Amino acid sequence: MSKTEQNSIQVDVKTAYIEEQSNPVDDSYVFAYTITIRNTGATSARLISRHWLITDANGGIQEVFGEGVVGEQPYLRPGEDFSYTSGTSLPTPVGTMQGSYQMRSESGTLFDAPIAPFSLAVPHKLH
């Protein structure tokens, strides 16, 4: 079995615009995102840290590094998943996020689980 098949993490994302916390007059748009991380590989792994690139419609980029997610470093056995909800704010009604989770396999090997780009958008702002 290849290393890729042993260490395989699937990341699914759902987003929502939080209108009641946003203030478009002040260029503040708040979004929530719910992420489900599933271990689709053959070995257990722990999420060690996260790295995000958050890009607004003006091309501004926020880079975020941190340990774990929502104060946790979940340990996922093969077939297990972990979900959490977090949020971010943008100065524009549309933006994107992408990044990666650094994982440690049960053998101690570090590997990255990529998070594909996803959109943050106020409803009806994207066609």
Average pLDDT over every residue of 37-54: 97
H or E, element range at 4: helix 3-6
Give the gyration radius of the chain's Cα atoms: 16
- What local confidence, expressed as pLDDT, does residue 23 receive? 97
Evaluate if residue 2 carries a pLDDT over 90. Answer: no
Phi, psi at residue 98, to the nearest 5°?
-160, 165
Evaluate if residue 4 carries a pLDDT over 50. Answer: no
What's 3-119's CATH class?
mainly beta
* Confidence bin at 7 (pLDDT 50/70/90): confident
Q: What is the pLDDT of residues 99-125, one digit of tens each?
A: 999 999 999 999 999 999 999 999 986
Domain residue spans in the chain? Answer: 3-119
